[in-house]
Amino acid sequence: MAFDDDLLAELDELGGDDQMDVAEGGANTVADIAALGEASGAGGIDEEHEALIGRIASSAASIHAIATLGRSSELRALLDDVARSQQTPVADRMVVGRAEDDPDYRLVLRANEMSARIAGEALVTHRFLVDHYRARFPELETLVRNPLEYARTVKAIGASADISKVELGSVLPNATQMVVALTGSTSSGRLLGADEQRRVDEAADYLLDLSRATHSIVGFIETRMPLIAPNLTAVIGGAAAAKLIVEAGGLTALSKIPSCNIQVLGKTQHAQTGFASLTVKKHAGIVFHSDAVRAVPEDFRDKMVRKISAKCALAARVDAQSSARDGALGRRFRAELDAQVEKLLEAAPVNAVKPLPIPDEGPKRRRGGRKARRAKEPFTATELQRQRDRLQFGTAQEEVVIMDEMEGAGMLGHAVGRVRATQMNNRAKAKVAKKYEKYLKAPRSVAAAAGTASLAFTPAQGFELISPQTEDAHKSKRAKTSHGSSYFASNTPFLGRRDG
């Protein structure tokens, strides 16, 4: 008996350890799911998170063994509190004291925390659904990327053998519906068994239940946003502000996110279905789909997304510090944004057509003076140039070829009388100083005149200096001896002979 009692005690201890290990494993799973929800809200799902989602989704054969939040009393109590709080009109609510002491604020914080856990369970549930439905339609996960649309498509198909005959008009857009129908008709999947189909339906129903709970929480936050984050609500609106807070995981978490990341919060990943992707926005998040951005023409939406995201970051930090509870700062930010929108939308200024100025037909002022006249003298037209430029009517002018170009001679050679020399302007001549005039007027000496000589060029000796008196003597001697006879006459003496 003693041996049996000892054995039973040891078995109880071992069983207690197993139960503790199961409890610890469940707690770790809940913490991991909450971390996944926070990461998905901040847009930070990476390869490590993807591996964690796959590990959690493949850890059990039923979705209820993994995700327990949808059937928990905590979620039901939260939804009941939200329903009771929504029965009180917003106009009758007033925040007295700190916002943290208001019951609705604490309820909103609980709702934000619960929304993060719901987002984590939604990720795990979607992966579980994809893994178990891949045997039936493996191409569906690449065609329908949205988890809710995927779950609705799975519920619509059900156990149908021919996917092309399933009506998906109320579930998917027309383009995606056509692609799913064509791909399903040639899919390599197989029909699921009864147990497999039951697990798939449970996962799809659970994912849709989580979506409805999230919708209730977001609707409650929208009605309480003017009390919780008045400045952020004034900037972007209650619905968009609630979605930003839910995506970021709370107002404090949103205040820590920079504006460049706020503009991509809540972006969706589109499937590559083969259609044109020119109209698909790559970084279209909650801010892009808000009413404040949709009211702006499409050409200016990207610019307004950056501006509104910057103002949302400032407003979230002000609301997180419980400053400007009346929302005056947020209204000022919104007024600045509206002014910038008006500035962007105003028409460009019309350039007025200026008339030409009145022409000045009077005589122009020209530079005069001795220097100006002297500078113009080399460029004055001569009489020959004037005659070349004149034309005689009824008479063809002569043409000459100069450097392969034909030029007209005008009236050159046809003018009557002599060609008049260029008239020099005596006023433009250089003047001599009075002290040097006596040297110019002094008479030349006879000696200087007597020594005058001329330079001649002869074929025999080249340049030759000849005295004018000697040349005159030779000419007179030739005239005396010639007497009209020729140079080779017999009586002509030798002119180069010297006497004595």
For residue 304, the tally of other CB atoms under 10 A from its CB is: 22
Going by C-alpha positions, the residue among 422, 336, 337, 328 that lies closest to residue 381 is 422
Distance CA 336, CA 311 (A): 10
Query: Which residues fall within 8 angstroms of residue 169, CB to CB, at 6 or more apart?
Result: 177
Could you tell me if 124 and 36 are in contact, meaning their C-beta atoms sit under 8 angstroms apart?
A: yes
Tell me the fold of 229-273+283-343. Answer: Serum Albumin; Chain A, Domain 1 (1.10.246)
How far, in Å, CA of 44 to CA of 99, rounded?
Answer: 29
Domain boundaries in the chain? 20-135+192-228, 229-273+283-343
d(CA 27, CA 50): 20
Question: Which tokens in the block code for residue 486?
Answer: 């020729």
- Is the pTM higher than 0.75? no
Rounded CA-CA distance 361/358 in Å is: 9
- Per-residue pLDDT tens, the chain, 500 aa: give them: 444 455 445 545 444 443 334 344 455 666 776 666 655 654 456 677 677 777 877 777 788 888 788 888 888 888 888 888 877 766 566 655 555 566 777 787 778 778 878 888 888 888 888 888 888 888 888 888 888 888 888 888 888 888 888 888 888 888 888 888 888 888 888 888 888 888 888 888 988 998 888 888 888 877 777 877 889 888 988 778 877 887 787 778 888 889 888 888 877 554 454 544 555 566 778 888 888 888 888 888 888 899 999 999 999 898 888 788 788 898 999 999 999 888 888 887 888 888 888 887 777 777 778 888 888 888 888 888 888 888 888 888 888 888 888 888 888 877 555 555 555 556 556 666 777 777 766 655 444 444 555 555 555 555 566 666 777 777 777 666 655 555 565 655 555 555 54
Question: Which residue, 121, 312, 285, is CA-closest to 209?
Answer: 121
Which residue has 């207690």 as its token pair? Answer: 16
Q: What is the pLDDT of residue 5?
A: 53
Query: In Å, how far from its chain's centre is CA 196?
Result: 52
Closest CA relative to residue 320, chosen from 415, 417, 231, 206: 231
Predicted pLDDT of residue 453: 56
